[in-house]
């Protein structure tokens, strides 16, 4: 009986721990197809990257820091930020990055009214791709 109780306890603990780990993982971004289909303008263009950097420093750095989610405000946010400098992030369609960066969700602010110029928006995506 003791053995059985121990096994049952172990299994229950494992389930509880697993559900915490699973709950901790961020849900995937749900990107509308029309965004995924969007094409970046001036891809890799140096001037665009430079403009993107200026805008990133102004609007994004406080939270995202150097791209790894290590900005000054990061500790006060409830949602963890992904590392924007990884190959996995870079491999995402540029339109998906555009949606995440300007439409946002939850703790990631919506920038559609703050950054209205399409060229400026794509400049930021160009900068992210250069990190």
Contact call for residues 130 and 55 (beta carbons, < 8 A): no
Q: Which positions ≥6 away from 59 have C-beta within 8 Å? A: 111, 114, 115, 124
Select from 79, 86, 110, 116 the one that contacts ligand HEC (CB under 6 A). 79
Q: Which residue has the tokens 């406080």?
A: 62
Select from 39, 43, 46, 105 the one that contacts ligand HEC (CB under 6 A). 105
Select from 40, 108, 122, 129 the one that contacts ligand HEC (CB under 6 A). 108
Find the angle CA(34)-CA(36)-CA(38) to the nearest 5 degrees.
75
| 59 scored as a contact of ligand HEC (CB under 6 A) | yes
Select from 40, 49, 123, 124 the one that contacts ligand HEC (CB under 6 A). 124
Strand partners, 108: 105
| 77 scored as a contact of ligand HEC (CB under 6 A) | yes
| 109 scored as a contact of ligand HEC (CB under 6 A) | yes
Number of H helices, E strands in the chain: 7, 0
Select from 15, 73, 86, 112 the one that contacts ligand HEC (CB under 6 A). 73
Contact call for residues 83 and 68 (beta carbons, < 8 A): yes
* Number of residues engaging ligand HEC in binding (CB under 6 A): 22
Site residues (vs ligand HEC, CB under 6 A): 26, 59-60, 62-64, 73, 77, 79, 81-82, 84, 97, 100-101, 105-109, 111, 124
């Amino acid at each position: 009986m003791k053995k059985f109780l121990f096994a049952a306890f172990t299994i229950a603990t494992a389930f509880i721990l697993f559900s915490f780990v699973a709950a901790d993982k961020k849900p995937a971004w749900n990107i509308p197809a029309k965004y995924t289909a969007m094409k970046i303008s001036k891809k890799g263009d140096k001037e665009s990257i430079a403009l993107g950097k200026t805008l990133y420093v102004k609007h994004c750095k406080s939270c995202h820091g150097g791209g790894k989610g290590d900005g000054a405000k990061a500790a006060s946010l409830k949602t963890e930020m992904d590392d924007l400098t990884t190959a996995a992030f870079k491999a995402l369609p540029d339109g998906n990055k555009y949606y995440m960066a300007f439409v946002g969700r939850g703790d990631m602010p919506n920038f559609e009214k703050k950054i209205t110029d399409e060229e400026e928006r794509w400049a930021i995506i160009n900068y992210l791709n250069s990190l």
